[in-house]
Amino acid sequence: MAQRSQGGALRGGRIASWQADRGFGFVEPDGGGDRVFVHIHDVQGAWRPQVGARVRFELTHSPKGLKALRVRPVGAARASSTLRAPGMFSLAIALAIWPVLGWAVLRAGWPAAVVGVYAGMSVLLFAMYGFDKRAAQRGGPRTPEVTLQVMAVSGGWPGALLAQQLFRHKTSKQSFRRVFWVMVVVNLVGLWLLFSDEGSVHLRAALSLLLNPR
């Protein structure tokens, strides 16, 4: 459904409520009036809304009522968002895995195909996040979350971390984030069990106990 903009004029207000786990809330406009719905997809930059924070936004009429577009922080909220630099940890983890994998292939004798699998899955999952973000903004068919999680545990999580920060997608839904990080840990543990000497010993011991219980 099309949205009807009110000329793109910037308006001011404060975040009246915000549900971080669901990624939406409401803005109370300056001067009073009805509260305006705001979704995380319409918040600009790396900033995350907090109750009471001052914002500027463009007002739009959607089929469900008033909606804020291109929401950005002002004043103290802008300064606070810059200092926190959200997402830096995720970006660091996404970038750090590549030299680790390179070292494992060159020095520890891991198969070079491991790097290829991680690279291919990361590129694919990065693209899937981009398409899903676009679908979310346009009301199109979405990619099931379970598909994104399966792709992550299969080796695509570095690309997912980059996409989450670049597209600002799936960064506020806490239930998704918790499962995602579990998938990252499961993937890394599985990688260690399959290809490291010590991990292989533990894996064989575990399989032996399963196949030959006393």
Looking at 81, 115, 148, the residue that finishes a domain is 81
Residues 196 and 101 in one domain: yes
And the tokens for 192? Answer: 């260690």
Those residues whose C-beta lies under 8 Å from the C-beta of residue 86, and which sit 6 or more positions away, are 46, 48, 171
Neighbouring C-beta atoms of residue 10, cutoff 10 Å: 11
What would the pLDDT profile of 66-82 be if each residue is shown by its tens digit? 898 889 888 755 555 54
Residues 140 and 97 in one domain: yes
Amino acid 80: pLDDT: 52
Beta strands in the chain (DSSP E): 4-19, 24-29, 36-39, 54-62, 65-73
Query: How many domains does the structure of the chain reveal?
Result: 2
Amino acid 201: pLDDT: 79
What would the pLDDT profile of 87-101 be if each residue is shown by its tens digit? 788 889 999 999 999
52 versus 202: the higher-pLDDT residue is 52
Residues 158 and 187 in one domain: yes
Residues 98 and 53 in one domain: no
And the tokens for 29? Answer: 């406009």
Residues 110 and 76 in one domain: no
CA distance linking residue 30 with residue 198, whole number of Å: 62
What would the pLDDT profile of 147-184 be if each residue is shown by its tens digit? 999 999 999 999 999 999 888 888 878 889 999 999 99
Those residues whose C-beta lies under 8 Å from the C-beta of residue 149, and which sit 6 or more positions away, are 179, 180, 183
Looking at 33, 55, 81, the residue that finishes a domain is 81
Looking at 36, 57, 81, the residue that finishes a domain is 81
Amino acid 2: pLDDT: 43
CA distance linking residue 161 with residue 100, whole number of Å: 17
Residues 99 and 203 in one domain: yes
Residues 160 and 65 in one domain: no
Mean pLDDT across 5-28:
81
204 versus 29: the higher-pLDDT residue is 29
Residues 109 and 175 in one domain: yes
Amino acid 78: pLDDT: 58
Residues 59 and 100 in one domain: no
Amino acid 47: pLDDT: 75
Domain span at 17: 4-81
- State the pTM of this model: 0.66
